[in-house]
Structure 1
Amino acid sequence: MTVNSSTQGEKVAAPARAVLESCVRAATAAPSLHNSQPWLFRIGADSVEVYADQSRRLDVLDPAGRELMISVGAAVLTLRLSLRAAGHLPHLEVFPDPQQPELAARVTCAGPATVTAAVERLAAAIGHRHTNRYPFSRAAVPADAIEHMIDAAATEHARLTLANPVSRNAIIALSQAAGRRQRATGGYRAELARWTTHRIPRRDGVPPSVIGPWDAMEMLPLRDFGLLQPQLSRPTEAFEPYPSVMVLATRGDDRAAWLAAGQALQRVLLTATWLNLATTPISQAVEVPGIREQLTDTGAGLWAQIILRVGYGRPATATPRRRLEEVLLPSGE
């Protein structure tokens, strides 16, 4: 175990590399667009650097890299939480080196920390959080659960809002329109096929086991991952007619805001998991610029980043994850 000097001159025990590797492995369980897992990590003596892997950006859906950076932010929050659960106080620096634009964050162990019950609960939820593309119960999400999720977003300096019935219907309509526009975009089908192929064993992408059924009423704008797999037998089921829809927004719309959105998103998702709630991103409306603008309150400086469907659902299957050695960069020591 390495011993470093703190800013007060005290000796602080750095975590063993095995602990840092375990926390990085947990961070890879974060959500990402099409399960692209666009992150890389470099482990130091007492820190972990998180890089955005631009080779995994989706050119058609995410040309600016906004959703890629949100995915990286989700991994950063998971890393911070895992270190905290291991008894270390994480110190976060975002974009710490202007000469390395892909270095999104550096998380340093600043000293020992007491592991609280709240930290334990969220850390325990990491392995159970999965996107759920199945129908949800018609039971309403309790107000206190909504407040827990709103508070979780606020902890990461983001705003989460539950759509009222009128706003919900408008968001669903905008998402449906965005989905139609995307399907008519050149390259969309090829990009979808790249991340949903089932013929080659792989540790990323969206396998058939997590795609879910068709919506019998074709109301919910869920991503059609079965579009290019006509041989896939997908049942038709009735989805909830009045879904609970929440919008996560940030102040500003730059890389730092996207990274913050990802951290807020993951804290919200883990909070929902701890509350036994299921979640599904509804991404289409925030992937088409003209439609995203209709969900954004620029006067208040709030930019819509994520739309979530929340409710009670059956257990969902986990998507695969890349091996640790595939996401680790050389230490540089």
Structure 2
Amino acid sequence: MTTPFAPPSHRVLTDCVRSATTAPSLHNSQPWRFRIEPPAVEVYADPDRRLPVTDPDGREQLISVGAAVFTLRLAIRRAGYQVRCELLPDSDEPSLAARVTAGRPAAVDATTEALAAAIPYRHTNRWPFARVAVPAGAIEKLRDAAEREGAVLTVADPAGRDAILGLARAADQRLRERDDYAAEISRWTGRAARHDGVPAWAYGPGDALGVMPVRDGAGTLAVARAPVAFEPHPTVLVLATDGDTAADRLCAGQALQRVLLTATWLGLAATPISQPVEVPEIRALLTRRPAQMVLRIGYGGVAGHTPRRPVNRVLLDEPPG
């Protein structure tokens, strides 16, 4: 005989959605919407928040949505329930990225506790990091985090690191040459009185040595900061998947968020270096597998939390359309 159980309440699931909205996204575009139908939460990609110049095929949008899916899974698990996640559950509704369902009550393990505790402290850090090597043990934990979500995390050796940073600088230049790129950047950066985008205070300085490919956002659109020297030997990681389908990209987003939360738990800061994966011909040179994201990690100072839309702005009463 099956013992009945009470699913999480609408309020509990709303709190879990609120946690999911803290996930990282390209230019803090927050391209997701949620619909709560206890015991499930549906996660949708918001087509109005895809960046057509930087992300014309929506790959990075799906990575962002995948990061939100992982955070939602983690929050429901932290609330004391088993979790089932279905990716792309309805072929007739392509914007429905995932359906995350709370199952029976279950004890919370130590890893879930640690990762969930890291959620409010995970922030992109665009400033120089300390000139201290990241321990091999920490790198191994980050690799394991990616593998648990079906992705592969590769640490670049010195020659590979320099090559990747060179490709990132070349990609940054190509992006600047795209029509309407500057207008799209200005739409999402430098304005503080918003609930989305990257405000001026969240941008760090440029690299005085010209090695680090710093995205030109608030530097030209809001306030200029004097360049400073970044760490000369950054730790650079490449996140890749076996395939490059929509499901692979959602998995990459979940792996990315698990890696970032693990890094936060370990006291590490992180910066996405997304330019080289935004130019297809350069992206193809990064790894044999489809590269989904490049990360720089290290020990940095405290970074602030970029603004998030109120939860009532991302909740749907009915499925879109």
The TM tier, using the shorter chain, reads: over 0.9
Partners of 1:9 and 1:44 in 2: CA distance: 22
For each residue in 1:49-85, what CA deviation from the matched residue of structure 2 results, as whole angstroms up to 9, or x when unmatched?
A: 0000011000011000000000000000000000011
Partner of 2:205: 213
Partner of 2:75: 82
Runs (4+) off by over 4 Å: none
Partner of 1:251: 242
Partners of 1:166 and 1:13 in 2: CA distance: 55
Shift in Å, 1:186 = 0.8
Q: Does 1:21 align with 2:8?
A: no
Shift in Å, 1:13 = 1.4
Partner of 2:29: 36
2:228 maps to amino acid: E
Relative to structure 1, the CA distance from residue 197 to residue 135 in structure 2 (aligned partners, 3 Å threshold; closer, same or farther) is: closer
Q: Does 1:142 align with 2:135?
A: yes
For each residue in 1:250-292, what CA deviation from the matched residue of structure 2 results, as whole angstroms up to 9, or x when unmatched?
A: 0100100000000000000000000000000000000000000
Partner of 1:267: 258
Partners of 2:181 and 2:291 in 1: CA distance: 23
Partner of 1:190: 183
Partner of 1:4: none
Shift in Å, 1:331 = 5.1
Structure 1: where are the runs of 5+ without partners? Answer: 1-7
Q: Does 1:324 align with 2:311?
A: yes
User: What aligned pairs does 1:103-252 form with structure 2 within 5 A after superposition?
Assistant: 103-198=96-191, 201-229=193-221, 232-252=223-243
Shift in Å, 1:16 = 1.1
Partners of 1:296 and 1:312 in 2: CA distance: 26
Shift in Å, 1:9 = 3.8
Partners of 1:39 and 1:239 in 2: CA distance: 33
Does the aligned pair in 2 maintain the 1:193–1:228 contact within 8 Å?
no
RMSD of equivalent CA atoms: 1.2
Shift in Å, 1:227 = 4.7
Partners of 2:311 and 2:218 in 1: CA distance: 29
1:162 maps to amino acid: V
Structure 2: where are the runs of 5+ without partners? Answer: none
TM-score by length of 2: 0.97
TM-score by length of 1: 0.94
Does the aligned pair in 2 maintain the 1:50–1:106 contact within 8 Å?
yes
Partners of 1:222 and 1:248 in 2: CA distance: 19
Give the total of aligned pairs. 319
Does the aligned pair in 1 maintain the 2:219–2:225 contact within 8 Å?
no
Q: Does 1:45 align with 2:32?
A: no
Partners of 1:251 and 1:204 in 2: CA distance: 32
